[in-house]
Amino acid sequence: MSVSRAEYLIDRLISNKISREELEELLIGVNHEAQQQEISDALEIYFNKLLQDNEEKNGQ
């Protein structure tokens, strides 16, 4: 499975490894309607994974 550019940038942001150029790219994407859905999808994937990890951790 390939990781989308938005997923890559979100991962870099969350792991505090994002470069200035990558942050600028992400912020520009937030302001462009065509890229907003991709960024939204990447964030949804990330938060769903957090929820799943939390459920597994708590044995649910």
1: pLDDT strictly greater than 60: no
Q: Are 12 and 22 in contact (CB under 8 A)?
A: yes
What is the pTM (predicted TM-score) of this model? 0.75
Alpha-carbon distances of 35 from 28, 38, 45, 50, 60, rounded to whole Å: 9, 5, 16, 23, 35
- 17 versus 60: which is more confidently predicted? 17
Tell me how many domains the chain contains: 1
Read off the pLDDT of residues 5-57 as tens digits, 9 standing for 90 and up. Answer: 999 999 999 999 999 999 999 999 999 888 888 999 999 999 999 999 999 88
60: pLDDT strictly greater than 80: no
**Using 50, 70 and 90 to split pLDDT, how confident is the model at 58?**
confident
- 12: domain range? 5-57
